[in-house]
Amino acid sequence: MREERLDHEHQALGSLQHELFEREVGRARIAFVLGSGLGSFADTIENPQVIPYAEIESMPQSGVPGHAGELVVGELAGVPVVVQKGRVHLYEGHDSREATRCVRAFGLLGIPNLVLTNAAGGIEADWDVPALMRIDDHINLQGCTPLGPHETGHRQVYDEELGAALERAAAESQVELHRGVYAAIPGPSYETAAEIRMLRWAGASAVGMSTVQEAVAARASGMRVAAISTITNPAAGISETPLNHDEVVEAGRLVSERFTRLLKTFVPLA
DSSP-derived 3-state class of residue 214: helix
Q: Does 67 qualify as catalytic in the annotation? A: yes
Active site residue 92: yes
Annotated catalytic residue: which of 92, 167, 195, 247?
Answer: 92
Catalytic residue among 15, 68, 75, 91: 91
> Which of 28, 42, 67, 165 does the annotation list as catalytic?
67
- 18 catalytic per annotation: no
* CB distance 119 to 37 below 8 Å: yes
In Å, how far are 6, 163, 197, 202 from 13, measured between CA atoms? 10, 28, 39, 35
Q: 3-state class of 93 per DSSP? A: coil
Give the distance from CA 252 to its chain's centroid.
14
Among the listed residues 62, 113, 233, 256, the single catalytic one is 233
Candidates 9, 31, 58, 89; catalytic one: 89
Query: How far is CA 240 from each of CA 145, 183, 234, 243, 252, rounded to the nearest angstrom?
Result: 34, 21, 8, 9, 19
CA 235 to chain centre: 19
For residue 42, which of 89, 85, 8, 90 has the smallest C-alpha distance?
85
- Residue 209 among the catalytic residues: yes
**How many whole angstroms separate alpha carbon 173 and alpha carbon 165?**
12
Beta strands in 175-270 (DSSP E): 178-184, 206-208, 224-234
Tell me the pairing of strands 131-140 and 224-234. antiparallel
Q: Is 8 a catalytic residue?
A: no
Exactly one of 40, 140, 173, 245 is catalytic; name it.
245
Instruction: Exactly one of 133, 170, 209, 251 is catalytic; name it.
Output: 209
Neighbours of 260 (CB within 10 A): 18
Residue of 9, 12, 36, 182 with catalytic role: 36
113, 210, 221, 256: the active-site residue: 210
CA atoms of 220 and 148, how far apart (whole Å):
10
- The residue annotated as part of the active site, out of 119, 206, 236, 270, is 119
| Residues with a known catalytic role | 36, 67, 89, 91-92, 119, 209-210, 233, 245
